[in-house]
Amino acid sequence: MKTLLSLTLLAIFLIGCTPDSDGKPKIAGSQRQALDKAKAVEATVQQGAQEDRKKVDAQTE
* Contact (CB, 8 A) for 43 and 51: no
pTM, rounded to two decimals:
0.45
**What residue segments make up the domains of the chain, in order of their start?**
28-61
The sign of the CA dihedral 31, 36, 38, 39 is positive
Model pLDDT, residue 49: 94
Q: CA 11 to CA 42: how far, in whole Å?
A: 42
- The whole-angstrom separation of Cα 54 and Cα 51 is 5
pLDDT value of residue 11: 84
For 52, other C-beta atoms within 10 Å of its C-beta total: 10
Task: Mark the ranges of the chain whose per-residue pLDDT is less than 50.
Answer: none
DSSP letter at 22 equals S
